[in-house]
Amino acid sequence: MSNPTHADEIHPIEDDKHVLAEHHDVNEIDNNIVKPGGVAAMTAEDRHTALKLARAADPGIPMGSWRMAQWVFTVMVVLMCGGDAGFDGTVMGAVNSMKQWQGYFGLSSASGSTGIVFGMYSVGQTLAFFPAAYLPDKIGRRWGMTIGNLTLIFGALLTSQAHNFQMFIWGRMFTGLGCTLAASSAKSYMSEITPPHSRGRYMGLLNSFYYVGQLMASGVSIPLGRKASNWSWRAPLLLQAAPAFINFAFVMFLPESPRWLFINGRDEQAGRVLAKLHSRDNDVNSPMVLLQLGEFEENLVAGGADKRWWDFRALFRTRANRYRFGMCAIIAIWGAWAGNALISYFLPVLLEQAGITSPDRQRVLNFANSLTSFGGALAGTALTDYMGRRPLLLSGITSCMVGMALAAGLLSPAGAQTATRANAGITFIFLFMVGYSFGITPLQGLYVAENLSMENRAKGIALQTWLGAACNLINTFAIPSALKALRWKTYLIFFAVDFVGVVVIYLFAVETKRLSLEDLDHIFEAKNPKKESFALAKAANERYKREKEAERLNGL
């Protein structure tokens, strides 16, 4: 192996451990954790260099170790909150196609009462607004997930054991309330426990787990839907509690978010958690731990708005904060109105309009849609830290726009109506979901958490979730009527919405790839945040290429 040049020199590990202390003022505090001073004075380039040196000195938890097994367990428990929402959307789509369920409550698959069933879930989401904004900041991210999933389990029990329509829709409301609280807390938690260099993949995986819930729900609905008893629909709704129960049973055994601990005056515990999660040697004086503690000290305000649960003014007080929430609003609006709700909840209705009338075949295709969507989400998640957030988002919304236009054309009554044409329309419905899952699903948790500052994160996620729920309320009450009255023209409405989304995202969306949560302050304080993000992204990409070339030359 050739010797590295001076420019690419890597310090020995034993010296690198205190590289931050050598380059910055150091302050000793009572709990013996050494924290670097001067973090606020670092440029984005300085922080990247510090992060690179910290990773070289301490690459993180060793593969195959007991602590790595604990880390995987921690991530899997949190991912259950992503599975909650996916299970709900698909299980109701599958149940909606069952003649047993329709007969028990006297409904049809595209009736106004069906809209109420779906809409009550969104009502629960809107009611989760204040709990999701208050509880994660007040009592911790873990307790937010615990209370949310306990509420979801209660809702699943009500719906699965419902003896009348009123009991069923109350269960739907509690399910939406609990699922939203748990998911909001999980997004904050995952963004705050993951290392800066791999946060994108983990946050993308959290949202992509939506499709694991979908696969579970659509998979069990196929054999159960063939049974004549009412357990054909009761059993899938009861199984909805499974991911929530796993999280509820184990989440309190996980460490609390280090950022939440720090903001609540528990500095020593925050350092220990960071060391456990991010340090090879579980060392509180690891440069990776020191760098993050320095960022906490500089950016987290002990008396900030996160301590005043009723105060949402901080989200809109400054131009930078308004721009930050604008990025969240993009995800909320087009995450709900891209056309995905049309397919997630009403796929059986769409298939029937395309000529597929067998409920059993509808459920099989529902499962196939979940499988292909999950593949798209995994592909998008894998590329999140390489392709970038903005290109991923643009590709997703553009593919949604094209998919809606093609489906509308193929399923319209114009021209000769053939089985080949109907099958092509169904294919583009499936491809629409692949595109949506690839470009939008991985960013629904990641992009929101990245764009919000720590003190506004819980409130921002809660408000963004509420905005998405409000959009879904319109979906769930309007789509059944639109499908009955407009049929294929419903796709054109979503085509127009997606077109507007392409324009808005192109004009305003910023790039956040390879930046720490704290580095984003530089972007949003700039006169032109999008232009500033391009400059930082370009510098980051050039750095990345230089590092890869240096590794190649050094034989690494």
Residue 218 lies inside a defined structural domain of this protein:
yes
pLDDT above 70 coverage of the chain, percent: 82
Residue 168 lies inside a defined structural domain of this protein:
yes
Task: Supply the CATH number for residue 294's domain.
Answer: 1.10.286
Q: Which of 509, 527, 546 is the last residue of a domain?
A: 509
Residue 30 lies inside a defined structural domain of this protein:
no
Residues 417 and 473 occupy one common structural domain: yes
Measure the CA–CA gap between 423 and 40, rounded to whole angstroms.
58
Task: Give yes or no for residue 14 having a pLDDT over 50.
Answer: no
pLDDT at 101: 85
Residue 470 lies inside a defined structural domain of this protein:
yes
Residues 217 and 159 occupy one common structural domain: yes
pLDDT at 501: 96
**In the chain, how many domains are there?**
3
Residue 40 lies inside a defined structural domain of this protein:
no
* Interacting residues of 252 by C-beta distance below 8 A, sequence separation 6+: 142, 143, 146
Residues 375 and 491 occupy one common structural domain: yes
pLDDT at 9: 38
Low-confidence winner among 134-138, 228-232, 417-421 (lowest mean pLDDT): 417-421
Low-confidence winner among 396-405, 422-431, 465-474 (lowest mean pLDDT): 422-431
Residues 404 and 450 occupy one common structural domain: yes
What does each C-alpha distance from 441 to 49, 210, 375, 448, 551 come to in angstroms? 31, 9, 11, 12, 33
Residue 138 lies inside a defined structural domain of this protein:
yes
Neighbours of 480 (CB within 10 A): 25
Tokens of residue 304, six digits: 């900030």
Residues 372 and 490 occupy one common structural domain: yes
* Interacting residues of 185 by C-beta distance below 8 A, sequence separation 6+: 81, 132, 135, 136, 141, 142, 143, 144, 145, 148, 458
Residues 505 and 401 occupy one common structural domain: yes
Nearest 5°: the CA angle 184, 189, 192 is 130
Residues 92 and 232 occupy one common structural domain: yes
Residues 400 and 278 occupy one common structural domain: no
Residues 87 and 233 occupy one common structural domain: yes
Task: Supply the CATH number for residue 423's domain.
Answer: 1.20.1250.20
Residues 190 and 97 occupy one common structural domain: yes
Residues 496 and 523 occupy one common structural domain: no
SS3 353: helix
Residue 16 lies inside a defined structural domain of this protein:
no
Per the CB < 8 A criterion, the answer to whether 215 and 437 are in contact is no
Of 146-160, 206-220, 422-436, where does the model show the most confidence? 146-160
Task: Give yes or no for residue 208 having a pLDDT over 50.
Answer: yes
For 543, the domain range is: 519-555
Residue 8 lies inside a defined structural domain of this protein:
no
Measure the CA–CA gap between 442 and 440, rounded to whole angstroms.
6
Measure the CA–CA gap between 480 and 349, rounded to whole angstroms.
9
Measure the CA–CA gap between 91 and 110, rounded to whole angstroms.
16
What does each C-alpha distance from 79 to 84, 141, 371, 446 come to in angstroms? 9, 14, 18, 13
Low-confidence winner among 265-279, 428-442, 448-462 (lowest mean pLDDT): 448-462
Task: Give yes or no for residue 213 having a pLDDT over 90.
Answer: no
Measure the CA–CA gap between 498 and 160, rounded to whole angstroms.
36
Task: Give yes or no for residue 297 having a pLDDT over 50.
Answer: yes
Residues 211 and 335 occupy one common structural domain: yes
Quickly state the pLDDT bin for 338 (edges 50, 70, 90): very high
pTM for the whole thing? 0.72
Residue with the larger pLDDT of the pair 411 and 173:
173
Measure the CA–CA gap between 500 and 298, rounded to whole angstroms.
38
Q: Is the dihedral of CA 13, 15, 18, 24 positive or negative?
A: negative
